[in-house]
Structure 1
Amino acid sequence: MGYFFRLLQLLSTCVALSLVASENTWIADVSNWSMFTWCFCFVVTLLSLIVELCRLQENFSRSWNNFLITYTCFSALVCLSASIMYPIIHLQMLSYGTQWNHAIAATAFSCIASVAYAMETVWTCVNTSESCSFISLLKKLEITVACGILAFISNTFLYMHHLALVWCVAVYSICFILGVISLLQHRCDCDESLPLPFCVWADVFAVLLYATAAVLWPLYQFNEQLGGNPQRSRDASCNAGYSVCIWDQQLAVATLTAINLLIYVVDLVISASWI
C-alpha cells in the first residue's frame, strides 16, 4: 500500500506541474506557489520511494515512520491549498480552450495528490501505532497554518474597515496563543501525566472560534452587499501588477482558515477518543 500511495502521488504531482508548465498555463508570480508545491512534493516523494526500495529506511528505525507522517500530512495540506487557490486565481485569467482544460486537469490531479497524501498519513498512523505522534503533528500544523494567516493579515487594510473582520483577527490570535501553550507547556503527546482534557477543551474552543471566522471572513471580504469584492479583476492593486494583491491575500486567509478549521476538527476527534 505504501508503494501504491507513492506511485499515485508521483503520477498526480508530475501530471499537474506538467500541465501547468505547458500551453502557457503557468502565469508568472501568481503560479509560483502551486508550481513549487507540486515540484517539492514530487521530488521528496521520489526520494522517499528510492529509500524504501533500497531498504535504507531500516537505518532510521522508528524516526522514518515519524518522518513519513509529518511529510505526508504537510504535503496533503499544501496540495489542498494549491488545489483551491490555483483554479480560483487562474481560471479567470485564462481563455476557454486548451489552456482552460489544462488548468482544470491540473487542479483535478492536485486534488488527487492531496487525497493520496492524506490516505497515506492515516494508513501509516494505523499500521505503525503512531497516533500520539499524529496528535502532536496536528498541533504543529495548526500553529504553522496560523503563522501563515498572521503573515497575511499583517496588512491592516484587510480588516480594519469592519468589526466582524477584526473579530476574525482576534480569533486567529487567540487560537495561535492556545496552540503554542498546548504544544510547549502540555505537549499533548498522550502521556498519562499530561492534562489531555485541557487539550480537548482547547480544541473545542478553537473549533467554535474558527467556525465563526470561516463564515465571517469570506462573507465580509467577498460579498458585494456587505462591502466585499467578489472578483479579483475589480481590485485596483491586482490591476496595478502586484504579484500578491489585496484580493489574493484575502483569498489566502479564507483558504487557510478553512484548512485550519478542518485540522482542528480532526485534532478534536482524535484527542477526545483518547480520554
Structure 2
Amino acid sequence: MGYFFRLLQLLSTCVALSLVASENAWIADVSNWSMFIWCFCFVVTLLSLIVELCQLQEKFSWSWNNFLITYTCFSALVCLSASIMYPIIHLQMLSYGTQWNHAIAATAFSCIASVAYAMEVVWTCVNTSVSCSFIGLLKRLETTVACAILAFISNTFLYMHHPALVWCVAVYSICFILGVISLLLYQCDCDDRLPSSHFVFGQTMLAVLLYTTAAILWPLYQFNEQLGGNPQRSRDASCNAGYSVCIWDQQLAVATLTAINLLIYVVDLVISAFQIFFSLEISLPSDIL
C-alpha cells in the first residue's frame, strides 16, 4: 500500500505541473507557489520511494516512519493549499480554451495528490507505532498556516512598496524554514545527537518575537491611510475589476493568518517552557530542592 500511495502521489503531482507548464498556463507571481509545491512534492516523494526500494532507511539514525508521516502530512496540507489557491486566483486570469482546461485538470490532479498523501498518513498511523504529540500537532499547524501565508504573499504587489512589509515577508519565510527544521527534529528521534527540545523552544521564542513585529507592521502599513495603506476594500481598484480575491482581500487574509499563527506560537511557547521547566525540576538533586 505504501508503494501504491507513492506512485499515485508521483503521478498526480507530475501530471499537475506538466499540465500547467505544457500550455503556458502559468502566470508569474500567481502560479509560482503552486508550481513549487508540486515540484517539491514530486522530487521528495521520488527520493523517498527510491530509499524504500533500495532499503536504505535502515542506515538512517532517525526513525524513517516518523519522518515519513511528518512529510506526508505536510505534503497533504500544502497540496491542499495549492488546490485551493491555484483555481481561485489563477483561473479568473485565463480565457476559456486549452489553457483553462489544463488549469482545471491540474487542479483536479492536485486534489488527488492531497487525498493520496492524506490516505498515506492514515495508513501509516494505523499500521505503525507512530504517535503524534500535542507539540507535534502544533508544529504541523504552524507550518500549515505559514504555507497559507506564503501562498498569499506570492503576489509581490502586496509588499514591495515598503521595506517594513518586506521585513514581514522575511519573518514569514524565516519562521517557516525554522519551523520545518524543528518539526523534523521533534518527530525524527534526533534527541541523541541534537538538543532538539531546547532548539524547538528557542525557535518558538524567536518565532513569537518575529511574528509579533509582523502582526503589528503588516496591518499598520497595509490598512493605515497615513502610512500609505488602504483601510477600505471599496477603494481597491482590483476589487472593482471583478476578481474574486483582490489585493485587499489578500492583505486582510495575511493579517488574519499572522494573528492566528502568533496565537499558536504563544500556546506552543507556554507548553514548551512548562515541559522544559518540569524536566529540569525533576533532574535537580533532592538536597537542592
- TM-score range normalised by the length of the shorter chain: 0.5 to 0.7
Larger CA deviation: 61-70 vs 104-113: 61-70
Give the distance between the partners of 1:102 and 1:266, measured in 2 at CA. 42
Larger CA deviation: 100-109 vs 54-63: 54-63
Q: Which residue of 2 aligns with 1:157?
A: 157
Q: Per-residue deviation at 1:245?
A: 7.2
Give aligned-pair identity as a percent.
Answer: 90
Distance 1:18 1:122, change over 3 A: same
Give the distance between the partners of 1:232 and 1:98, measured in 2 at CA. 33
SS at structure 2 position matched to 1:236: coil
Indicate if the aligned counterparts of 1:135 and 1:188 stay in contact, CA closer than 8 A: no
Q: Per-residue deviation at 1:59?
A: 1.6
Please list the CA deviations of residues 61-118 of structure 1 after superposition, one character each: whole Å capped at 9, or x if unmatched: 6511111011111111111111001011111111111111100000000000011111
Distance 1:256 1:62, change over 3 A: same
Give the distance between the partners of 1:56 and 1:182, measured in 2 at CA. 24
Distance 1:103 1:241, change over 3 A: same
Give the distance between the partners of 2:141 and 2:222, measured in 1 at CA. 25
Distance 1:95 1:251, change over 3 A: farther
Indicate if the aligned counterparts of 2:182 and 2:200 stay in contact, CA closer than 8 A: yes
Indicate if the aligned counterparts of 2:62 and 2:190 stay in contact, CA closer than 8 A: no
Q: Which residue of 2 aligns with 1:173?
A: 173
Q: Per-residue deviation at 1:27?
A: 1.1
Structure 1, unpaired ranges of 5+ = none
Structure 2, unpaired ranges of 5+ = 274-288
Give the number of aligned pairs: 271
Q: Which residue of 2 aligns with 1:257?
A: 258
Q: Per-residue deviation at 1:10?
A: 0.2
Distance 1:20 1:175, change over 3 A: closer
Please list the CA deviations of residues 130-184 of structure 1 after superposition, one character each: whole Å capped at 9, or x if unmatched: 1235861444433652586499799999999999999999999999999999999
Larger CA deviation: 95-104 vs 121-130: 121-130
Give the distance between the partners of 1:186 and 1:248, measured in 2 at CA. 35
Distance 1:139 1:96, change over 3 A: same
Please list the CA deviations of residues 224-274 of structure 1 after superposition, one character each: whole Å capped at 9, or x if unmatched: 9999999999953699999997246248549969999999999999999xx
Distance 1:30 1:3, change over 3 A: same
Give the distance between the partners of 1:6 and 1:41, measured in 2 at CA. 11
Distance 1:90 1:52, change over 3 A: same
Indicate if the aligned counterparts of 1:76 and 1:114 stay in contact, CA closer than 8 A: yes
SS at structure 2 position matched to 1:167: helix
TM-score, normalised by the number of residues in structure 2? 0.57
Q: Per-residue deviation at 1:60?
A: 2.4
Q: Per-residue deviation at 1:22?
A: 1.2
Give the distance between the partners of 2:121 and 2:263, measured in 1 at CA. 15
Give the distance between the partners of 1:189 and 1:92, measured in 2 at CA. 45
Give the distance between the partners of 1:231 and 1:100, measured in 2 at CA. 32
Distance 1:93 1:213, change over 3 A: same
- Structure ID, larger Rg: 2
Give the distance between the partners of 1:58 and 1:194, measured in 2 at CA. 20
Please list the CA deviations of residues 176-222 of structure 1 after superposition, one character each: whole Å capped at 9, or x if unmatched: 99999999999999999999xx9999999999999999999999999
Give the distance between the partners of 1:159 and 1:29, measured in 2 at CA. 12
TM-score, normalised by the number of residues in structure 1? 0.59
Distance 1:56 1:239, change over 3 A: farther
Indicate if the aligned counterparts of 2:34 and 2:86 stay in contact, CA closer than 8 A: yes
Distance 1:187 1:79, change over 3 A: closer
Give the distance between the partners of 2:6 and 2:133, measured in 1 at CA. 21
The root-mean-square deviation of aligned C-alpha atoms, in Å, is 7.7
Larger CA deviation: 93-102 vs 177-186: 177-186
Indicate if the aligned counterparts of 1:77 and 1:259 stay in contact, CA closer than 8 A: no
Distance 1:167 1:55, change over 3 A: closer
Q: Per-residue deviation at 1:123?
A: 1.2
Q: Per-residue deviation at 1:4?
A: 0.5
Larger CA deviation: 230-239 vs 177-186: 177-186
User: How do 1:234-273 and structure 2 match up within 5 A?
Assistant: 235-236=236-237, 246-247=247-248, 249-250=250-251, 253=254
Q: Per-residue deviation at 1:121?
A: 1.2
Distance 1:114 1:230, change over 3 A: farther
